[in-house]
Amino acid sequence: MNMRVIDLLNQARSRELGAISQYMIHYYELKDKDYGKLARKLRDIAIAEMKHAGELASRILFLNGEPLSRPAGEAVKGQEITDMLKTDIAIESDAIDLYNEAASLCAAEKDQASKDLFEDLIRDEEEHLDTFENVRNLIGTLGAAYLVSLTGK
């Protein structure tokens, strides 16, 4: 049993669980404010993170470790849309940094499959980051006109 790798996988799982909780809070808050279209993006990304948390748990179990279920950080409530995006961008950027580091460490530990898993996660997190940055940038350049397009179902 490689505890170093299992530990990295659990750290990642903890981040994923924290991200799910944060994105679902944003989903409910946005939906409540009638920003249905933006809310849906948050829900879809939360579902992707649930898949990640599951994949990490499967890998941990395969390595005979114990998947932990403690979310990282404390989810923030009641943010304005631009602050929500700041929070979400930070979650994705931090995950990308951590997973890149983790992929290198898995390679050093000669665990190619765990390294591959981290690389798959990085590609998804980069997409999520791109989605959040695009929304932030469009709000920055188009302002209210773009915000209107995020309302409704």
d(CA 47, CA 28): 14
Other beta carbons less than 10 A from residue 150's beta carbon = 20
Q: For Fe ion, give the closer residue by CB, 52 or 59.
A: 52
- If the CB atoms of residues 116 and 147 are measured against Fe ion, the closer one turns out to be 116
Q: Of 29, 54, 30, 48, whose CA–CA distance to 129 is shortest?
A: 48
CB 99 to Fe ion: min, Å: 8
Q: How far is the CB of 124 from Fe ion (least distance, A)?
A: 6
Question: Least distance from C-beta 22 to Fe ion, angstroms?
Answer: 10
* Smallest separation (angstroms) from Fe ion to the CB of 129: 7
Residue among 49 and 111 whose Cβ is closer to Fe ion: 49
Both structure tokens of 7: 């530990």
Which residue's CB is nearer to Fe ion, number 47 or number 61? Answer: 47
Question: Which residues bind to Fe ion, rule: CB under 5 A?
Answer: 16, 49, 52, 125, 128
CB 151 within 8 A of CB 37: yes
Nearer Cβ to Fe ion, position 66 or 127? 127
Closest approach of Cβ 126 to Fe ion, in Å? 9
Instruction: Name the 3-class secondary structure at 70.
Output: coil
